[in-house]
Copies of this chain bind each other. A is one copy, B any other.
């Protein structure tokens, strides 16, 4: 899963070009120049051009996102606390994500698709891979996956359209939310508190 340093440079270049100009206006040439790499090399690394490149970018961004999220969950040994931290940090990260906000502003359709339609299954898949191990101790594997999926959908929804009643970036609000709507559903399967 290690990424070639040159690939990484190109992906970073793609990201910053995107932030400057928006997905639709970026050219392969721009990215190659920004990365300090020739166009030929870029095609060698990502045969297929822009589509493949940005697909790869989405993958690494997603993995980075959950890697950072995992970093905030170290040593939490309480189920409720784990879920609260998950949604709070995920929400904070989404709100602070410069790249995401530029994308949402300049290419709303495409970006929303990546968050809610075409891209959602993958988000849930990656979330499950990263987070399932953490809930493994508390729930049967199958219920863990369902929980992660549910929370993923909710975090995204509340991020895109904030509610008047709930603020998932606020620990207290998130805790109340989880106690009320999430925990009861999974209570029966809890193997330990």
Interfacial residues, chain A to chain B (CB-CB below 8 A): 20-22, 25, 105-106
Closest 6 CB pairs of A and B: A25-B25, A21-B25, A20-B106, A21-B21, A21-B22, A20-B22
Specify how many copies of this chain sit in the oligomer: 2
Q: List B contacts of A105 (CB < 8 A).
A: 20
Q: List B contacts of A20 (CB < 8 A).
A: 22, 105-106
CB-CB nearest in chain B for A27: B25
Q: List B contacts of A21 (CB < 8 A).
A: 21-22, 25, 106
CB distance from A14 to the nearest CB of B (A): 15
Q: List B contacts of A22 (CB < 8 A).
A: 20-21, 25
Q: List B contacts of A25 (CB < 8 A).
A: 21-22, 25
Question: What are 9 residue pairs bridging A and B, where the CB atoms are less than 8 Å apart in the complex?
Answer: A20-B22, A20-B105, A20-B106, A21-B21, A21-B22, A21-B25, A21-B106, A22-B25, A25-B25
The complex places the Cα of A20 from the Cα of B106 at a distance, in Å, of 7
The complex places the Cα of A22 from the Cα of B22 at a distance, in Å, of 10
